[in-house]
Structure 1
Amino acid sequence: MRLFVAVNPPTRAIEELAAATASLRELPGADRLRWSETAGWHLTLAFLGDVPADEVPQLSEKLATVAVGHPRLRLRLAGGGTFGDRVLWCGVQGGTAALRRLADAVRDALDVTDDHPFHPHLTLARSRFRAGGMRAMADAMRGFRGTEWEAGSVYLMRSETGFGPARYTVVERVRTQGRGELRDER
């Protein structure tokens, strides 16, 4: 199973971002990008890669142990940027320092080695080749500021690739510590 660990924004945050990004698809160069599906929008904390199915229970236990040691997070999707000319993303504001600590703890507990430091973002589009116009799209996102939401769960997710867009399914959901009711998480 190809797995990763993520925080999934609630439906309202996804809908706000979808509305804000709809006009980006009309900008020059947008037709050369592979746009991610809104159903798969998430904040990746750690990519695990291919994992044997019999290791999932151990991963779930470790993830639960990490999650209980971290608070619920107040986050919002906001702004945008690029990773070079290959990835267009939406940024995250709010409890990003706590989100970084959570990502670091997940990576440590699950023995994930990654050459890239954690950068809170949600991937909107990718390009295999240098795509002109991506900077203009990121600039167009500069004023976006979604509604604040509470992240109270961490998800072990399965990624299935092949023809068409990647499909993501929840393998395990673990709650972080904190009080109050969780809001519209998916």
Structure 2
Amino acid sequence: MRLFASLRPPAEVLEHLAHALDGVAPGSLDAGPPPLRWVPPEQRHVTLAFYGEVPDGALEDLAETLGAVTASTAPLQVQLAGAGVFSGATLWVGVRVVDGDERALTRLMGRVEAAGEDISRLEPRDRHRAHLTVARLSARAQRERSDRRRRSGRGDRRPGRGPAVDLPAVAHALSVYRGPEWTAREVELVESHLGAGRSGGPLHEVRARLPLTGEQA
């Protein structure tokens, strides 16, 4: 099974974000498909750790290990804030701790990732950036982006079609975004069923909810 751990923002936080995204969403330049594939609102989450494909029988042990982590971690007062782009193709909104230890979320991510080190085949990441993915370039837009890069590498300066969407510009427009604050009180352990969701996307199934019950520092 394909597993990850996450924080899920409450409905009012996701609704506030949706209104902000409506204001910056680019349209298609022609009759073709839109240049961005937006993550459905019900699948928007703050990724803490991605474990990849793990054995079916590992779920119970992982949930138990994660439970020990969350039991010693206090609830976090957090907020969606700012935005950026990963690898030129993925638009994300950032997450920050409000009125508390700014590194508390980073430490939680590290401990949640370490909880899966005995079952995950993925290499641990050296850096952590708490984020919520909101959109990715469509397959067509990524092909056009790759074509422009190849032509540029060959020194081809012939005029061509401009980019389907300026993703850095969208991120810049969202850089001042600040969402409502909320208290993160649990970590979800989620199974991702590839191709089983809306429009052939993944379907997320929560397999365990692990409360953050540690004492405040």
1:28 is displaced (CA, Å) by: 6.9
Match of 1:149 in 2: 182
Match of 1:88 among 85, 88, 91: 91
Q: How much identity, in percent, do the aligned residues show?
A: 36
DSSP-derived class of the 1:25 partner: coil
1:75 is displaced (CA, Å) by: 0.4
User: Is 1:118 aligned to 2:124, yes or no?
Assistant: no
Structure 1 stretches (4+) deviating beyond 6 angstroms?
none
Aligned length: 180
1:178 is displaced (CA, Å) by: 4.7
1:31 is displaced (CA, Å) by: 2.2
Deviates more, 1:148-157 or 1:102-111: 102-111
Find the structure with the greater CA-based Rg. 2
Q: How does 1:38-117 map to 2 (within 5 A)?
A: 38-94=41-97, 96-111=102-117, 113-115=123-125, 117=127
Match of 2:204 in 1: 168
Match of 2:6 in 1: 6
Structure 2: segments with no counterpart, 5+ residues: 146-163
Structure 1: segments with no counterpart, 5+ residues: 180-186
Code of the residue aligned with 1:9 in structure 2: it is P
1:23 is displaced (CA, Å) by: 2.3
For each residue in 1:92-138, what CA deviation from the matched residue of structure 2 results, as whole angstroms up to 9, or x when unmatched? 12255111101101111220533452111100111252464001111
Q: Determine the C-alpha separation between the residues in 1 that align with 2:126 and 2:68.
A: 24
Match of 2:34 in 1: 31
Is contact 1:153-1:173 (8 Å) kept? yes
For each residue in 1:38-74, what CA deviation from the matched residue of structure 2 results, as whole angstroms up to 9, or x when unmatched? 1000111111111222211101100100111111001
Match of 2:151 in 1: none
Q: Determine the C-alpha separation between the residues in 1 that align with 2:90 and 2:6.
A: 18
DSSP-derived class of the 1:24 partner: coil
CA RMSD of aligned residues (A): 2.2
Q: Determine the C-alpha separation between the residues in 1 that align with 2:126 and 2:165.
A: 24
Q: Give TM-score, length-normalised by structure 2.
A: 0.76
